[in-house]
Amino acid sequence: MAIKFHESTKTFHLFNKEVSYLIHILDNGHLTNLYYGKALRDKEDFTYLYDTYTAVNLPICVPEPGSIKLNYTRQEYPVYGTGDYRTPALTIFQQNGSFVVDFKYASYEIYAGKREIKPLPSTYVESEDEATTLEITLHDEVMDTDLVLTYTIYENYPVITRNARFLHKGSESIVIDRAMSASVEFPDMDFEFTQLSGAWARERYVKNQKLEMGTHSIQSLMGTCSSGEQNPFVALKRPDATETQGEVYGFSFVYSGNFVAQAEVSTHDITRFMMGINPEGFSWKLEAGETFQTPEVVMVYSNEGLNKMSQTYHRLYRTRLVRGQWRDKSRPILLNNWEATYFDFDEEKLLKIAKKASEVGVELFVLDDGWFGARNDDYRGLGDWYVNLEKLPSGIAGLSKKVEELGIKFGLWVELEMVNKDSDLYRAHPDWILHVPGRFDSHQRHQYVLDFSRKEVVDYIYEMIAKILRESSISYIKWDMNRYMTEPYSVIANPCDQGRVMHKYILGVYDLYERLTSEFPEILFESCASGGTRFDPAMLYYAPQTWCSDDTDASERVKIQYGTSYVYPIVSMGSHVSAVPNHQLHRITPIETRAAVAYFGTFGYELDLNLLSDAEIETVKKQIKFMKAHRDLIQIDGDFYRLQSPFEKNEAAWMVVSQDKKEAVVGYYQKLNKVNGSWMRLKLQGLDSDTLYEVSYDISPIASYDAKIAEAYGAQVDDSTIRSYKAYGDELMYAGICIDREVLNKKGGDFSAIIFNVKAE
């Protein structure tokens, strides 16, 4: 088993071939972390790794003479009030007004496999030999409360998952005000704090900051959105760590609501990292016999740099977080009508767009906002999930059948958590929104947040949308959510229970997802929240892909998708070729570049193909043919490598390599063109040094060039413009591919891209 308890030294060792984690039971019954890092050979005694602090005449208090100075101890789950003056992992308010607790070791259980933590999503196993789990029970005698710390280590991944569970047995109620899912302490502060930060249309930019004494933290207080401003992910990396070498510790939170992640460095250089539900606005009362379960933190260790950390998350999340029929399937190529029509459409216009999509090889047509209620703009209609028969006289059932008769599948957009005040739903149930009576109700996009902490609200929405799905032929659902939470108050909750509302709301979202995905397992769900503002692991548990960002500009998407790849699988990133000028930045980029970025995701189109030129239509057909030939490699089978960062240079690059190293697809992207520029080499990764590969790439001009320019270059848009050569893997990785500036010029210069195909001979 991957977990051993050494009775004589009271030490737990979690280990596999890549990682070790050591926990020691101290004499006072508390737990200390002895080590977390590269795998160690197991043995009986590691206790000498426990650092004791023996200095005297310090104003640090201890509970009794000669006892442990908690302020200098690397604790597994620290509390405040008995000598540790750093931020605690736990705060419990008791009826006498005290928040002092003392959880001491009581027992442990080691078992094969991994248990669910319902009603919360979490990673899973399909057989017990994939992982081993340790549960350590601590007990506070005064409150008569158990605290169960759960650790699971995967057999074939450098992954340890963490969560905490509380079981209250005492006769007097308690209130949990803070309950982190994981706390890890390191004996030094030699780290950089890497986070994914941004805002709407520029989500998940990579940010780094060197740790110093004090606290560095990120958080979300948006309620319904986990990740638009700060993603629930942090990497602590050594300063010399790169994409390919050095130590990195990744922490990813499987949760979709308010969170906090922080690294606190003490004045003695100890780094305490914690991650969990944000305690701001949170409180959870427990009566005798009641429990509270925290969400899961997934910790990944890498001593081969950031890319190894990312590949671990990609494989784990794609195969042991995503569930259902779509887990191991590549995604259909879709066309979404939103940027083609917005609210201005009828059945005839939609079928014209769908027909053209079918002709070029698109496999799925998606009807976006505006199909329901009185929804002709964003002022009205949200919450009325029945079809607008003035626009669609055949209904969704009839339209979906007509689209399928064209030879493609049909998908639908919804925004189930929101309501407009100008809607039948709000007029019937004005108390169903989150709001504080007597105060102003904030809105965004003229919409309000339904109170999903109430079961009757979730039940009502479920029945409305399930009716549509039962009656129609729907293969895909895009689940949108276009605002942050304000006035998080439920009018039916007691005053002492208002601290539950935000967490119960998220549980309501999970419940609705669970019910819909269970009843309609064949439907591909894509989560969306104003683009990518709720892109978190918990969403992937229900919806195997997420709309990466509303910003569809190709150059900006390189940065967004690059940052997203730190944690999330390529197949989880919703990525489309959209119209130009771009609707967010008004920038014009070649359709070839837009596709070259979108290939590394789910891939689709968000435009009216009927408005494209003949040359562009031919290019679209080639793009779809390329994606169909390579999507299994890109989305399911391959390993993703980041080669060059768009946050550091004018150029960016990444690649996907098959598991057997016989095939790869490489994307190279240039922002602004350079005159008389220097030579450029792109060094690949992940290939077999001894294998001879053929490298090929298209050198034809962009489709928007007129015939005279194409003729001047001596090239047409056909297979005769493929350039290729042969090289061994060692040459491609260490000498690199020569980037031809003339090819970049042909492809538009500014915002140009080249796709390289690498295939073993």
**Domains of the chain, with CATH numbers?**
3-320 (2.70.98.60), 651-760 (2.60.40.1180)
Q: 629: how many CB neighbours lie within 10 A of its CB?
A: 11
CA 74 to chain centre: 30
Rounded Cα distance between 760 and 695, Å, is 9
Rounded Cα distance between 341 and 672, Å, is 31
Residue 34 has pLDDT above 70, yes or no: yes
Query: Torsion over CA of 352, 358, 362 and 363, rounded to 10 degrees?
Result: 110
Query: Torsion over CA of 250, 253, 258 and 263, rounded to 10 degrees?
Result: -30
Segment 719-732 shows an average pLDDT of: 89
550 with 531: CB under 8 angstroms?
yes
Count Cβ neighbours within 10 Å for each residue of 371-397 and write b for 16 or more, e otherwise.
Answer: bbbebeebebbbbbbebbeebbeebbb
Structure confidence at residue 714 (pLDDT)? 46
Residue 383: pLDDT band (50, 70, 90) is very high
Q: Which two tokens stand for residue 554?
A: 């190709």
Of 84, 369, 451, 480, the catalytic one is: 480
CA 712 to chain centre: 46
Residue 462 has pLDDT above 60, yes or no: yes
Long-range contacts of 496-501 (CB under 8 A, 24+ apart): 496/175, 496/285, 497/285, 499/175, 499/177, 499/281, 499/282, 499/283, 499/284, 500/283, 500/284, 500/285, 500/453, 501/434, 501/451, 501/453
- The question of whether 240 is a catalytic residue gets the answer no
Q: Is the dihedral of CA 87, 91, 93, 97 positive or negative?
A: negative
Segment 624-646 shows an average pLDDT of: 98
Segment 460-485 shows an average pLDDT of: 97
Segment 383-400 shows an average pLDDT of: 97
Work out the percent of the chain whose per-residue pLDDT is above 90: 89
Residues composing the chain? 761
Count Cβ neighbours within 10 Å for each residue of 518-532 and write b for 16 or more, e otherwise.
Answer: eebeebbbbbbbbbb
**3-state DSSP percent of the chain in helix, strand and coil, to 5:** 25, 30, 45
Structure confidence at residue 58 (pLDDT)? 56
Segment 363-375 shows an average pLDDT of: 97
724 with 750: CB under 8 angstroms?
no
396 with 472: CB under 8 angstroms?
yes
- Chain-wide mean pLDDT for the chain? 94
Rounded Cα distance between 21 and 2, Å, is 11
pLDDT digits (tens, 9 = 90+) for 478-496: 999 999 999 999 999 999 9
Q: Which two tokens stand for residue 743?
A: 């090819």
Residue 709: pLDDT band (50, 70, 90) is very low
517 contact partners, CB below 8 Å, separation of at least 6:
323, 324, 523, 525, 542, 543
Place of tokens 């208090």: 61
Residue 208: pLDDT band (50, 70, 90) is very high
Structure confidence at residue 67 (pLDDT)? 65
- Using only C-alpha atoms, the chain has a radius of gyration, in whole angstroms, of 27
Rounded Cα distance between 453 and 336, Å, is 32
Residue in 312, 300, 307, 194 with CA at minimum distance from that of residue 253: 300
Structure confidence at residue 98 (pLDDT)? 96
Residue in 257, 255, 225 with CA at minimum distance from that of residue 444: 225
- The question of whether 550 is a catalytic residue gets the answer yes
CA atoms within 13 A on the CB side of 281: 19
Residue 720: pLDDT band (50, 70, 90) is low
Rounded Cα distance between 498 and 504, Å, is 10
The string of DSSP letters for 440-508 reads ----BTTBEEB-TTSHHHHHHHHHHHHHHHHHS---EEEE-------S---TTS-GGGGGGHHHHHHHH
Segment 399-407 shows an average pLDDT of: 98
Structure confidence at residue 708 (pLDDT)? 46
299 with 203: CB under 8 angstroms?
no
Residue 21: pLDDT band (50, 70, 90) is very high
Structure confidence at residue 82 (pLDDT)? 83
Q: 411: how many CB neighbours lie within 10 A of its CB?
A: 24
Count Cβ neighbours within 10 Å for each residue of 302-316 and write b for 16 or more, e otherwise.
Answer: bbbbbbbbbbbbbeb
pLDDT digits (tens, 9 = 90+) for 584-616: 999 999 999 999 999 999 999 999 999 999 999
The string of DSSP letters for 675-705 reads TTPPP-EE---S--TT-EEEEEEE-PPPTTS
Structure confidence at residue 138 (pLDDT)? 98
Structure confidence at residue 66 (pLDDT)? 52
Structure confidence at residue 96 (pLDDT)? 96
716 with 700: CB under 8 angstroms?
yes
Of 536, 550, 608, 639, the catalytic one is: 550
Residue 430: pLDDT band (50, 70, 90) is very high
Residue 254 has pLDDT above 80, yes or no: yes
Please state at what angle helix 395-405 crosses helix 455-471, rounded to 10 degrees. 40
Residue in 578, 485, 499 with CA at minimum distance from that of residue 533: 485
Segment 76-105 shows an average pLDDT of: 94
